[in-house]
Chain A
C-alpha cells in the first residue's frame, strides 16, 4: 500500500457524537437508550457495590461521576491522534468507549459507519476483532508463547488465516525479525511492547488504540515504539489514537486533543513538546 493511495482516503475511522459516560449511578437521563442488559448476578453484585460505596445515600445513592461530558470528536483515517489530559480527565474513558470496550450512558460512537450502540455483544466482539487493534501500557502478552506466536494468535483464534506477507512487513516495521523465537520473559520491556504493537497491526485493523504505550518502558525504548507507531501511520496508512500524559509522546502525533473534566478543552495540530507543555500550563491555570 503506497502512501499516496492512503492519503486520498480522507474519511473518518471513528467518531464520537455527544458522548457522555456517567459512572456510579443507576439513573439515566430522559430519552436515553435503555441500558445494556446484564446478568442478574452481575446486577446484584453491582448493586451491592453501590450500596457499600454510599451507605448513607441508600441502595440507589447518587454517587454519579461524569467521566465524559458530551464529547464530540472525529478520528480521521490515516492520522495519528494523541489524547492528553491529567488523570481523571476522562481520556482513558474516551478511548475505551470509542474502542467498544465500554458502553456510553448517552450519545453515539461510530467505528466506520457502524454505530456501536446498535450492536449486540456478539457483533461488538466481531467488530473489535476485525476493525480494532489495541496496545496497552502493560503489554499483556501471553507468557508461554514466542513473540511470533503472540503476534498471530489473535488471528488464528478468530479463525482467520494470517497474511504472511503482511505479518512479515509488520514484524520488520517494528524491528522484531531477530526476536521472533523469544518468549516475553526473554525480551526487554521495549521489545515486549513492540510485539504488542505488531500484534495490534497484524489484523489490519481500521483503527489502533494505544493506552499509554510508553508508560512502562524507558525513554529510549519509548522513543523507538513511538517511532514505529509513526511509521505505521506514514507507511501503512494506519489510523492511531494514543492516550498519553507525556508531551514528548504526544509530539509524535499529527494532532493532540486536550481533555479536562470530561470535556475537550483544546487541540493542537503538529504538536511539539514545548507547545504541548505550554498548552498544559495554560489549561492548568
Chain B
C-alpha cells in the first residue's frame, strides 16, 4: 500500500538522481579491471615470469630444492 503510493506519487516522473550510481559503478569496475590486468602483464606472458622459470628448472632437476628455495627468496626480495 505504502510502496505503491511512493511508486506512483512519491518520486514524480522518471528516475531520480540515483540512476547515476549505475554507470558510475560499472565505470569503476572497468577501470579496476584494466588496472589489474595491466599490472599482471598480458596473459600470454604469464609462463615466463621468474617464478615459473624457476619452477620449471626445479622440476627438470637443474637446481636442487635448496637452490630453488634460495632463488625464490631472491625473487621475492627483488619484487619487494
- Pairwise interchain contact A159-B47, C-beta atoms closer than 8 A: yes
The reply to whether B78 and A157 contact each other, CB–CB distance below 8 Å, is no
The answer to whether A140 and B63 touch across the interface, beta carbons within 8 angstroms, is: yes
| Cβ of A102 to closest chain B Cβ, rounded Å | 12
Given contacts A125-B53, A138-B64, A140-B64, A153 and B78 within 8 Å (CB-CB): no
The CA-CA distance from A133 to B59 in the complex, in Å, is: 12
The contact size tier of chain B is: 10 to 19
Contact A154 B56 (CB under 8 A): yes
Produce 1/0 per residue, B39-80, CB < 8 A to A: 000000001100011011011111111000000000000100
Is the contact region of chain B dominated by helix, strand, or loop, or is it mixed? helix
By size class, the interface of chain A is 20 to 34
Chain B residue with Cβ nearest A121: B53
- Asked whether A142 and B58 contact (CB < 8 A) given A39-B78, A41-B78, A122-B48, the answer is yes
Complex alpha-carbon distance, A101 and B47, angstroms? 20
Residues of A within 8 A of B48 (CB): 122, 125
A196 touches B56 (CB 8 A): no
Instruction: Across the interface, name the chain B residue whose C-beta is closest to A155.
Output: B59
Closest 5 interchain pairs by CB? Answer: A140-B61, A153-B59, A154-B60, A154-B59, A157-B56
- Residue numbers of A with Cβ under 8 A of B are 39, 41, 101, 122, 125, 128-129, 133-136, 138-143, 153-154, 157-159, 196, 199-200
User: B: which residues have CB within 8 A of A?
Assistant: 47-48, 52-53, 55-56, 58-65, 78
